[in-house]
Amino acid sequence: MCVEKSLVKRYYSPMEEKVDLSDLKCGYPDCCFMVANNWFRYRAGALIVEDGKLLVMKTKSSDCFYTVGGGVHMGESAESCVLREVQEETGAPYEIDHLAVICENFFTGTEEIIKGYTCHVIEFYFLMKPRGMQELNAESYGWNRDREERYWIPLEELPKIDLRPEFLRTRMPEILKGKSLIHIVNDSRKLTK
């Protein structure tokens, strides 16, 4: 549903002050928007494990590791998004095993575009079927246009690295054992304020 800006001037929330929606910025084609000091995003991520190692990404300007994945485009399913992102970022033909985690991720932005923003990201994490090899063939660039480097991190080493969201460091054994969907609410705002 599209709402004419002139028809909706203010948003009221019991938790916040008035927000002027004329400042609304959309991140088309991704399903994301910014308003006032808030950022919302719908993201799909891939959990790619080969030989007991999780594939993670990092740019020189990012302060943490993260999974392969990205913003779901308008009109795109989370499944289509994760397959597109995996192909773009790895160059490898991975297939989905199953939807493993839905994460409601709340944090304070630290990267240039969202620095200081209150961030709310809905993330669908798909466990990918292993291919039996770690060979990847793609150049990938993050949303800030920095080149993304790929790392295969042994599962037992995950708790020692700054991997976000945090549940990826501590709950991967549980995720890999089961076939049921796990719902996680990750709120690191309290750690960064």
Measured distance CA(74)–CA(28) in Å, rounded: 7
Measured distance CA(192)–CA(53) in Å, rounded: 29
Tokens standing for 26? 């959309």
What's the confidence (pLDDT) of residue 150?
95
Side-chain-facing half-sphere of 59: CA atoms under 13 Å = 16
What's the confidence (pLDDT) of residue 10?
42
Q: Which residue has the tokens 């190692």?
A: 53
Measured distance CA(9)–CA(21) in Å, rounded: 6
**pLDDT means over runs of 10, the chain (193 residues):** 36 56 81 92 98 95 92 97 96 96 95 90 98 89 82 97 95 93 90 46
**Whole-model pTM?**
0.86
Bridge partner list, 147? 141
Measured distance CA(22)–CA(27) in Å, rounded: 15
Angle (nearest 5°) at CA 166 between 15 and 150? 125
Measured distance CA(92)–CA(36) in Å, rounded: 39
